[in-house]
Chains A and B, each alone.
Chain A
Amino acid sequence: MQLQVKKENVYVPDLARLVSKRKMSGTETLFEFEFVEDRLRDLFDYRPGQFVQLSMFGIGEAPFSISSTPTRKGFIELGIRRTGSVTNAIHNLKLGDIVGIRGPYGNGFPLEALKGRNLLFVAGGIGLVPLRSLINYVVDRRSQFGDVTIFYGTRNPSEIIFKDELASWDALDDVDFLMTVDKGDKDWKGNVGVVTTLFNKREIDPNTVALVCGPPVMYKFVVDELLKIGIGRDEILVSLERRMKCGVGKCAHCQIGHKLTCMDGPVFSIFEVEQLQEAI
């Protein structure tokens, strides 16, 4: 079990400072924060797949998947798209500016269960943001896992994020990395087609855990492919997005059927998702 920063009022954020920001695409930026208090920098631990609540004081608070890996400590990276008031304000932050962060929350990926297993990551668009945490975790502890395959698709080349890192994964001998875009441009030399077209290019072992994250429309098609391969419904894991206010199972905004995305998720198996009916 990871350490959780214990404090009396769970809703009060801790202060954190923006240390770096890296533009990932036209609308997405990777923000690196560190806690102002030294103590918290050491204490703050998390599992890939968990999220934090980030406060822009006076503007509001919103949940974000942690995109960094706990294997590289001392900072938290969040990949954020500009979509509303809070994310707009985050994009306007200058280095050194102070925000509030509380967490980590949610179940995260089941690391123990993944050990020794073949892993297939399927990411669509900014779905790569939460998966990146686990991918880098696996890269850092490569010997603990079996075959590692990564499928990544975006709508067009301009929406590709984490370009440097994609190249570094691609360069690894023990990671099989493939990517595609729905629609190329004149400079694009790579695969063209939706992310499911990558399934034709590789033979995936049915004894694999699939980790899927992307826009709601993507899930159905990817899951169909995975089921065709023979991967079990309980071994297809997805990370769901929901509106959240509290992050700790009180406000009910992220409730799906009888599950709370913030407490029971955000990582669910496709079996659970199908039980929940309105999940995706």
Chain B
Amino acid sequence: MCPSYVMNQGDITKLIESARDSFDIFGPVKKRTKHVFDKIDDPAQIEMDYDSTILSPRKFFQPPSEVMMTFDLEEKSVDDTLENLRAERPRLLLAVHSCDLNGILLLDKVFGGEYVDHYYNIRRDKTTIVGLNCLEPCEYGFCRSMNTHHVVEGYDLFLTPIDGDRYFVQVGTAKGEHLIHMAENLFTLAETGDVQSFKNALKHKQEALPHEVDLEGINEYLDLSFSHPVWDEIAEDCVNCGACAMVCPTCYCYDVVDELDISLTSADRTRKWDACLFQDFALVAGGHNFRETPAARLKYRFYHKMRGFANEYGIIGCTGCGRCTAACPSDISIKEVLKRLSTIWEVPVSGVK
């Protein structure tokens, strides 16, 4: 077992200074009234005490748009961009909350598996992640309900605020240990009193984070409500803008387009974030749309997130981060939708339609 450490909260800026030569450093910074994960040029920019960010850390591993390969249309040759990715500077990503660490773990499953997506995995390997424990609830989150308020892995270092001015530091990986060596003077080995403070912090968290959504029976009520008109009612407010999918830490779907250069002699194959709420998401070349109505697409998003992930990966795809609720122009709350669905227990319509 790797030892745990403590550090002064104020020393996070010194950690940034020490790591600067080795990493491009990213963390939560202020954007008007909100926070975003952004590059930290001045250590003073970092805001450790943040509620949530507009986009999740997904953007670091699967950027909104990326060139996968370039075609030389005259030579008929293909060059992928993996070498460029490997050549990029390592990244240090600071202050990632538990919900988002769980989100990253889910993306790991999607982009790993039988066919490994190297674009994702190279970025993932090159990133050192310092997690940050939330001891207080945030405005829209419901991590405790989704069981994502704690983490077992996915971080290199994990910080828990203790005693008001220090962090209890857990080391998750050798990458984390390496970071500690980089700024050794900032860390001291945790002693019995520190562990006691750590325990108190976790106890405080347990009491502070509300349990708002009951997952009991979620698979069953989602299955049963599949053909229920409730989806049409929810869809009345949905502008199918896809904002919920863009901000979601576990939405990963993407579109692929070939972009020709102006001389028409080469083309980039680019992938960009897509959303299952968009009209043409399930449209096939012949013109048949397998999810024709906005209501069908809205339902699909909930169903896949809350039910489909469980079948595929053994866990629910929602981390309870609350970003979709925060982003929805119509204020559709994922918590409220789940609560509403959980009241519907009716015989489903079955058979081939």
Contact = CB atoms under 8 A, between A and B. Distances in A.
Q: B68, B71, B118, B227: which has the most chain A beta carbons within 10 Å?
A: B71
B64 to A, nearest CB: 15
Given A9-B80, A11-B68, A278-B300, A243 B353 contact: no
Nearest to B117: A250
Interface residues of A, number: 48
Contact of A58 (B118, B260, B284, B287): B260
Given A57-B258, A250-B110, A250-B117, A258 B296 contact: no
Interface stretch (B197-205, B236-244, B249-257, B330-338): B249-257
A260 B252 CA distance: 14
A193 interface: no
B291 interface: yes
Contacts of A62: 285
Contact of A250 (B111, B258, B284, B304): B111
B33 interface: no
A119 interface: no
Contacts of A10: 115-117
Contact of A249 (B115, B282, B287): B115
A60 B254 CA distance: 14
Given A13-B78, A274-B352, A258 B284 contact: no
A253 interface: yes
A44 B163 CA distance: 63
B252 A250 contact: yes
Interface stretch (B18-26, B186-194, B210-218, B306-314): B306-314
B73 A58 contact: yes
A8 B82 contact: yes
B112 to A, nearest CB: 10
Nearest to B257: A60
Nearest to B255: A245
A83 interface: yes
B276 A242 contact: no
B61 to A, nearest CB: 13
A190 B71 CA distance: 49
A11 B253 contact: no
A252 B276 contact: yes
Of B69, B227, B290, B310, most buried by chain A (CB within 10 Å of CB) is B290
Nearest to A233: B352
Contacts of B284: 241-243
Nearest to B286: A83
Contacts of B260: 58
A278 B254 contact: no
Interface size class of B (residues with CB under 8 A): 35 or more
Nearest to B111: A250
Nearest to B282: A243
A81 B288 CA distance: 14
Interface in A15-37: 15
A274 B267 contact: no
Contact of A253 (B114, B253, B310, B312): B253
B76 A252 contact: no
A179 to B, nearest CB: 22
Contact of B304 (A57, A59, A100, A258): A258
Contacts of B115: 10, 248-250
Contacts of B308: 255, 257-258
Interface in A229-280: 241-243, 245-246, 248-253, 255-260, 263, 270, 273-274, 277-278, 280
Given A57-B258, A250-B110, A251-B255, A258 B312 contact: yes
Contacts of B113: 249
B303 interface: yes
B350 interface: yes
B350 A60 contact: no
B285 A83 contact: yes
Interface in A218-233: 219-220, 223
Nearest to A86: B285
A216 interface: yes
Nearest to B312: A258
A95 interface: no
A263 B114 contact: yes
Contacts of A87: 285
B51 interface: no
Nearest to B296: A278
Contacts of A243: 281-285, 290
A58 B258 CA distance: 5
Nearest to B284: A243
Contacts of B82: 8-9
A12 interface: yes
Interface string B73-89: 10010101010000000
For B118, B257, B284, the residue with the greatest tally of chain A CB atoms inside 10 Å of its CB is B284
A57 B269 CA distance: 9
A86 B351 CA distance: 35
15 contacts: A9-B69, A11-B69, A12-B69, A60-B258, A243-B281, A243-B282, A250-B111, A250-B117, A251-B274, A252-B253, A257-B304, A258-B309, A259-B311, A278-B291, A280-B353
Given A9-B69, A249-B110, 10 more contacts: A8-B82, A10-B117, A58-B260, A81-B285, A249-B114, A250-B110, A257-B303, A274-B350, A278-B300, A278-B353
